[in-house]
Amino acid sequence: MSRPLSDQERRKQISIRGIVGAESVAELKRGFNRHLHFTLVKDRNVATPRDYYFALAHTVRDHLVGRWIRTQQYYYEKDPKRIYYLSLEFYMGRTLQNTMINLGLQNACDEAVYQLGLDMEELEEIEEDAGLGNGGLGRLAACFLDSMATLGLAAYGYGIRYEYGIFNQKIRDGWQVEEADDWLRHGNPWEKARPEYMLPVHFYGRVEHSASGAKWIDTQVVLALPYDTPVPGYMNNTVNTMRLWSARAPNDFNLRDFNVGDYIQAVLDRNLAENISRVLYPNDNFFEGKELRLKQEYFVVAATLQDIIRRFKASKFGSTDSVRTVFDSFPDQVAIQLNDTHPAMAIPELMRIFVDIEKLPWDKAWDITKRTFAYTNHTVLPEALERWPVDLVEKLLPRHLQIIYEINQRHLDHIASLFPNDVGRLRRMSLIEEGDTKRINMAHLCIVGSHAVNGVAKIHSEIVKSQVFEDFAELEPEKFQNKTNGITPRRWLLLCNPGLAELIAEKIGEDYVRDLSQLTKLHKFVDDDLFIREVAKVKQENKVKFALYLEKEYKVKINPSSMFDVHVKRIHEYKRQLMNCLHIITMYNRIRRDPAKLFVPRTVIIGGKAAPGYHMAKMIIKLINAVAQVVNNDPVVGSKLKVIFLENYRVSLAEKVIPATDLSEQISTAGTEASGTGNMKFMLNGALTIGTMDGANVEMAEEAGEENLFIFGMRVEDVTELDRKGYNAQLYYDRLPELKQAVDQIKSGFFSPDDPNLFNDVVNMLFHHDRFKVFADYEAYVKCQEKVSELYLNSKAWTKMVIRNIAAAGKFSSDRTIKEYARDIWHVEPSDLKIPPPNEPRDAGQDKTPNGTAA
C-alpha cells in the first residue's frame, strides 16, 4: 500500500500543472515587472491588486501569442477542414488560470507570484467572468472549444461579444434583484480587436427580382467588428480562435438619406445600431420572440458566413474557373455546427449567398448547404422551441423569408411525392406553422437544411426521434444521431480541484488528463484504505475552504462536517427546485417532531438565476429564502439543518462549490432535462448523485452501476402513463401526511408570516397546473434521501461509492464528445501532432502570407 506524500512531494512529482524551472520563474517575474511598468504604467508603491492581476494576465498572455500566430499560420499553410461552432452563447468564465494550466505554466506562475510577495488566489478573484451564456448550452460551447483545441482540430467559435453578459444576481429581502454585468469596464486583456476584418450586415429593405436574379436593396447596414480570443489546447501548443462580433454603426449612419439636418441626433442614434451586441438575453430554455434577439441571431450568422467564405476563397480549394469560385469542395473544407436553432438563419443566409451573389443553381446550392450544416437539438420543451413570426422575418429579412418559402415548397413537394394524400403529415412537417400568427418553425428548418441532427444524451436523442421530430426521423432515420455531452477535465478537475487531480495522478499517472477513460484504473484502489482516506481528506479540505469562502464573502457560517447537499443550476420549474424545497421542509418538520432522534446533519445549498421575466422562478427563489430564514433561526434545529441560497451562481462559483459537494441534486422530471452537464462536473469531483432517470444521469448510472447512484422516481414511461391517466396532485396531497403538512405550511404563511398569501401562486401551480409533477415524485424522493443520510453515516462506504463514481466518470469528458462529432458528423481526424513551440518570432518578411489573408 502507498505511503502518504506531503504536499511538497506531490508538487514535485506531478507535472500536470507544469514543471517549475528556475529560469522560467525568473522570466515570468521579469515579464510581470515589465508589464506593471509599461502596460499598467505603475510602480509597486501605487499599484492596486487589479494592476497586479492585469500585469500577470499580460505576462501569461505573452506566452499565448507566438503559439496562436503559429497555429493560425499552420492552418493557412496546411488547409485542414475547418470546424465552425456557431453559438449565441459562450459561457467562458475566467481565463487566467485556464491559460496557465493549458500552457503548463501554473506551477511556475504560482512560484513567481509567491516570490513577488503576492497572493495568486487573490489575483485570480479579480478577473471578471466572461458570462456570455445562461447555463448548460453556453458552458457546453466553452468546454467544446477547449476540447477542440486539445484535439488539434482547426476549429473556431463564432458568437457575439455582448457588452453585458448574464446579469449579476443580488438577493434583497429574499428576492432576486438583477444588476447589469459590466464585465468590460476595466478592459479585457484576453481579446484582440480586428477592425481590419470588419464586415457589413444588412437589415430591412426590400427585394427586387429581375432576369439576373433577386436583389436585396434599400437595406440598413450595421458593421460587425470582430474581437478574437485565443483558445489554447492542453499542452499541445495549439491555440485556436474564438471570434466574437461587436456591432458598430457605419460613420455615415443616418447622415446619408434622411436626418441630414440633424447631425447631433444622427450621432446619438448610432446607439440604435450598436444595441445589437449590447446584452445577452437572459432566458434559459425559453423562447422570447423579440426583434432585437432576431437581429442578434442574424447578425452573428451574416458576419460569420462572410468570414468563412472569405477564408475558403483564400485557400487553395477556393479555386476559380476563370470568373467564378467553384464551391464543390466547400463541404469537404467547411463544417458548420449549429448550437441549437439560435443561429438557424445561417441556412437561408448561405443559400442567399450561393444563389443571389455567387449565382449557383438552386439545387447545387442546396446540396452544398445541406452537406455543410449540422444541427444540435438542446431541448424538447415546447416553450423553448424557436418559432419566429413570419411578419417579423418579412420585415427584417425579406429575402430570407422568400428563400425559406422556397425551401419549404420543395421540401413539401418531396414529402407529398412520398406520402400522397397525407395532408396531416404535410402540416406537421411544414417549416411554416399556420395559426393566429403564422410562424417559422426553426427546428424544422435546421433539420431540413442539415445532414446531421443530434441530441445531447441517449435518452434525449431517443425522445427527439420518437416524439418531437418523429415524422422527420421516419423520413431520414440516418440523419438522427446522439452525441452525449461532456465537460472539459481541465477546468472541471485540474483547475477547480487540484487536490483531487494530483491525488489521481499519483495513482494512475498523468495521462488521464487527456484521456479521461483512464480513470477506470482507479477501480483497483476502491479497497485501498489509504486512498479512501486521502479522497475523503481532499473532500474535507475542499468543504472547509468553501465554508471559509462563504463566511468571508457572505458572513454565513456553515458546519463543514455536515453533508453538503447542493442543487445549483438555472431556476426552472422542470428542474424542480420546489421538490428539494419540500424535502427541506419535511426534514425540518421531522427534527421538530422528534428533536432527540438521530439526524444526519445537512447543509442544503441551492443556487441559480431566474430569468428576470419568469415569475414562478422568482417566487421559488423567494420561497427558498423564506424557508431558510425559518429553518436557520430555529433553536430546536440548531446545526442539524442549514439552508443556504447561493447568490449569483456562475462559472467561477461553480468551480468553488462543486469540489466541496457531497450530494449532487439532479432531480428534473424524467424526459425534460436534455442532458445536463452539472451532473457530470459533480461526479468527476467526488460527489454522489441523487437523481431521476433523466438526461445524462441515465448514462452516469450505466457507467457507474445504478447501485452507485441514488436513483428514484418516475421513468419517462411512467410520466407518459401518468399523463395518459391524468395527473392529479390532490391525490398525493391527500395520501401523504408529510407532504400535506409541508404544503399547508407554505399555504398558511408559516414561512411568510408578514404576508400569508405570498406563495399562493406557487401552491396553486403545484395543485392545478404543475406540468412537472412534483408531488408525484415527492415520496420516492424523500425515501431516497433517507438512504443517502444512512450511507453518509458510514464515511468509508460513502467514499468507496465516491471512488467508484470518479472511476466511471471518464465517458463524460468533452474530449470524448468532440471525437464523436469529428468522426460521425464533421469527418475530420483529431491530430496529436504538436505544433512546434515558438522559440523566437520567425522573420516576418520570410513567411508573410499574401494580403494578410491568413486569419
Neighbour-count burial for 278-303, b at 16+ CB within 10 Å, e otherwise: ebbbbbbbbbeeeeebbbbbbbbbbb
Query: Which position among 677, 689, 692, 817 bears the catalytic label?
Result: 677
**Can 677 be counted among the known catalytic residues?**
yes
Task: Report the 10 Å Cβ neighbour count for 725.
Answer: 8
Nearer to ligand PLP, 174 or 678 (CB): 678
Spatial contact of 140 and 90, defined as CB atoms under 8 Å apart? no
From CA 225, how far away is CA 222, in angstroms rounded? 10
Neighbour-count burial for 187-222, b at 16+ CB within 10 Å, e otherwise: ebbbbeeeeebbbebbbebebeeeeeebebeebbeb
Nearer to ligand PLP, 372 or 542 (CB): 542
Nearer to ligand PLP, 174 or 695 (CB): 695
Nearer to ligand PLP, 135 or 205 (CB): 135
Nearer to ligand PLP, 266 or 683 (CB): 683
Q: What is the total count of residues that contact ligand PLP (CB under 6 A)?
A: 12
Instruction: List the one residue from 341, 441, 677, 805 that touches ligand PLP (CB under 6 A).
Output: 677
Task: Restricting to residues 164-183, name those near ligand PLP by CB under 6 A.
Answer: none
Minimum distance of ligand PLP from residue 606's CB (angstroms): 12
Query: Which position among 569, 602, 640, 804 bears the catalytic label?
Result: 569
Nearer to ligand PLP, 216 or 649 (CB): 649
252 secondary structure, DSSP code? T
Task: Report the 10 Å Cβ neighbour count for 760.
Answer: 14
What is the DSSP track for 627-677? HHHHHHT-TTTTTSEEEEEETT--HHHHHHHGGG-SEEEE-PPTTT-S--S
Minimum distance of ligand PLP from residue 143's CB (angstroms): 9
Minimum distance of ligand PLP from residue 140's CB (angstroms): 8
From CA 758, how far away is CA 748, in angstroms rounded? 9
**Can 465 be counted among the known catalytic residues?**
no
Nearer to ligand PLP, 248 or 491 (CB): 491
Instruction: List the one residue from 135, 157, 331, 343 that touches ligand PLP (CB under 6 A).
Output: 135
Residues in a beta bridge with 320 = 325
**CB-based closest residue to ligand PLP:** 678
Helix, coil or strand: residue 603? strand
Query: Which position among 311, 370, 681, 804 bears the catalytic label?
Result: 681
Instruction: Confirm or reject binding of residue 650 to ligand PLP (CB under 6 A).
Output: yes
Stretch that binds ligand PLP, among 131-139, 219-227, 495-503, 741-749 (CB under 6 A): 131-139
Nearer to ligand PLP, 697 or 799 (CB): 697
H helix runs in 106-230, sequence order: 106-115, 120-126, 136-150
Minimum distance of ligand PLP from residue 650's CB (angstroms): 5
Angle, vertex CA 636, rays to CA 635 and CA 642, nearest 5: 75
What is the DSSP track for 332-387? HHEEEEEESSTTTTHHHHHHHIIIIIS---HHHHHHHHHHHEEEE-----GGGS-E
Query: Which position among 378, 411, 640, 804 bears the catalytic label?
Result: 378
From CA 446, how far away is CA 452, in angstroms rounded? 9
The rounded Cα 854 to chain-centroid distance in angstroms is 30
Instruction: List the one residue from 68, 72, 109, 136 that touches ligand PLP (CB under 6 A).
Output: 136
Residues in a beta bridge with 389 = 439
User: Rounded to whole angstroms, what are the CA distances from 536 to 360, 410, 661, 708?
Assistant: 64, 62, 12, 17
Nearer to ligand PLP, 139 or 483 (CB): 139
From CA 201, how far away is CA 300, in angstroms rounded? 9
Nearer to ligand PLP, 93 or 343 (CB): 93
Spatial contact of 607 and 653, defined as CB atoms under 8 Å apart? yes
**Can 570 be counted among the known catalytic residues?**
yes
Instruction: List the one residue from 678, 686, 691, 713 that touches ligand PLP (CB under 6 A).
Output: 678
Instruction: List the one residue from 139, 295, 460, 479 that touches ligand PLP (CB under 6 A).
Output: 139
Helix, coil or strand: residue 180? coil
Instruction: Confirm or reject binding of residue 131 to ligand PLP (CB under 6 A).
Output: no
Query: Which position among 352, 570, 572, 583 bears the catalytic label?
Result: 570
Site string for ligand PLP, 681-720 (x = CB under 6 A): x---------------------------------------
Spatial contact of 131 and 60, defined as CB atoms under 8 Å apart? no
Stretch that binds ligand PLP, among 1-9, 132-140, 391-399, 532-540 (CB under 6 A): 132-140
Task: Restricting to residues 562-621, name those near ligand PLP by CB under 6 A.
Answer: 569
**Can 524 be counted among the known catalytic residues?**
no
**Can 341 be counted among the known catalytic residues?**
no
Instruction: Confirm or reject binding of residue 331 to ligand PLP (CB under 6 A).
Output: no
Minimum distance of ligand PLP from residue 677's CB (angstroms): 4
Stretch that binds ligand PLP, among 359-367, 496-504, 612-620, 649-657 (CB under 6 A): 649-657
Closest CA to 145 of 133, 137, 155, 130: 155
Helix axes 760-768 and 615-632, enclosed angle (nearest 10):
110
Spatial contact of 478 and 467, defined as CB atoms under 8 Å apart? no
**Can 523 be counted among the known catalytic residues?**
no
Instruction: List the one residue from 397, 494, 538, 654 that touches ligand PLP (CB under 6 A).
Output: 654
Site string for ligand PLP, 736-775 (x = CB under 6 A): ----------------------------------------
Pairing of strands 155-160, 130-132: unpaired
Provide the binding-site residues for ligand PLP, judged by CB under 6 A. 135-136, 139, 569, 649-651, 654, 676-678, 681
Active site residues per annotation:
378, 569-570, 575, 677, 681
